[in-house]
Amino acid sequence: MSVIEVSELRKSYGGRAVVDGVSFAVEEGEIFGILGPNGAGKTTTVECVEGLRIPDAGRVRVTGLDPVADHARVARVLGAQLQESELQAKLTVREALELYTAFHDKPLDWRPLAERLGLTQKLTTRFGKLSGGQKQRLFIALALVGNPRVVVLDELTTGLDPRARRDTWELIEDIRANGVTVLLVTHFMEEAQRLCDRIAVIDKGRIAALDTPAGLIHRSAGATVISFTPSAPLDAHDLNTLPALASIEDRDGRLTLSGTDETVNAVITLLARRHVTAHQLRVVDATLDDAFLDLTQEDAA
């Protein structure tokens, strides 16, 4: 069942379309990622899902409810960690957790959550005295303390150190294992590749691609890259006619070829047939970074 449904969503500011016909559905128990360059429309899209912005056109539903017209009911099932949030500077971590717990009918026990997010030693610390990473962990806890059916996480681990980031990833995986649906906006490709079941790449307010991480990587112009220095020159025609070849580069005698597994196998066969040794041979699979750059390369140009 689709827990979040977005259909032909449109939102403009000052006559400029920020979100221009975005459509996707998030299934129950799924971690659904949204990637895109800065200004692509990611945050505006999720703010419409959260009911924080009113769409100019299109349809948004969360568990079948309109986030604007049914905002109070949606707030009972949806938790949100916003890209930018603030609390009163004098509020302590404990007071914030207890306050947000009081907002919900069936909240989680905030103590294990605080322990998991490394906040136990900061319970008496005022919000204004927290570091950026500590504030981020607190907002994650506040998004989850209401025991939501759906949680929206916008730039989940920004400001966290590598260990805290991985601990947070494990927490999100545990939350999904308990049946919570996650909508994740991120700039971290490693985060998206590890956590997400499917990813929508938004570029210039539109969906450029929607697939699994593996599917997006497979779409990359060179899903596999092989590089080596041949012991003897190879015929240009033999190289250019390799199957599934996406690109070829010769830099000071070192060849780098992008393609697929079929390309790699053909290169190995060619080397054996020509009795050429491949020095410093490297074979590397493409990453989500490569796929992202391919999908949004026009903006980068």
Using one digit for the tens of pLDDT, what is the confidence trace for 159-176? 788 888 898 899 899 889
158's tokens: 């920004």
Q: How many CB atoms neighbour CB 197 within 10 A?
A: 15
| Nearest CA-CA partner of 156 in 132, 128, 136 | 136
Q: Which residues have a Cβ under 8 Å from the Cβ of 284 and sit 6 or more positions away?
A: 224, 225, 226, 227
How confident is the model over 216-231, as pLDDT tens digits?
Answer: 987 776 678 899 999 9
Report the pLDDT value the prediction gives residue 163, as an integer from 0 to 100: 87
Instruction: Write out the DSSP string of the chain.
Output: -EEEEEEEEEEEETTEEEEEEEEEEEETT-EEEEE--TTSSHHHHHHHHHTSS--SEEEEEETTB-TTTTHHHHHHHEEEE-SS----TT-BHHHHHHHHHHT-SSPPPHHHHHHHTT-GGGTTSBGGGS-HHHHHHHHHHHHHTT--SEEEEESTTTT--HHHHHHHHHHHHHHHHTT-EEEEE-S-HHHHHHH-SEEEEEETTEEEEEE-HHHHHHHSTTSEEEEEEESS---HHHHHTSTT--EEEEETTEEEEEE-HHHHHHHHHHHHHTT--EEEEEEEE--HHHHHHHHTHHHH-
**Which residues of the chain fall below pLDDT 50?**
299-301
Report the pLDDT value the prediction gives residue 297, as an integer from 0 to 100: 63
Report the pLDDT value the prediction gives residue 12, as an integer from 0 to 100: 95
Report the pLDDT value the prediction gives residue 298, as an integer from 0 to 100: 54
Query: What's the first-to-final CA gap in the chain, in angstroms?
Result: 40
Strand ranges across the sheet with 57-62? 16-27, 2-13, 57-62
* Alpha-carbon gap, residue 274 to 127, rounded angstroms: 68
* Alpha-carbon gap, residue 66 to 74, rounded angstroms: 8
125's tokens: 């610390």
Percent with pLDDT over 70 in the chain:
98
Strand ranges across the sheet with 224-230? 247-251, 254-259, 224-230, 278-285
Report the pLDDT value the prediction gives residue 221, as an integer from 0 to 100: 60
Report the pLDDT value the prediction gives residue 299, as an integer from 0 to 100: 46
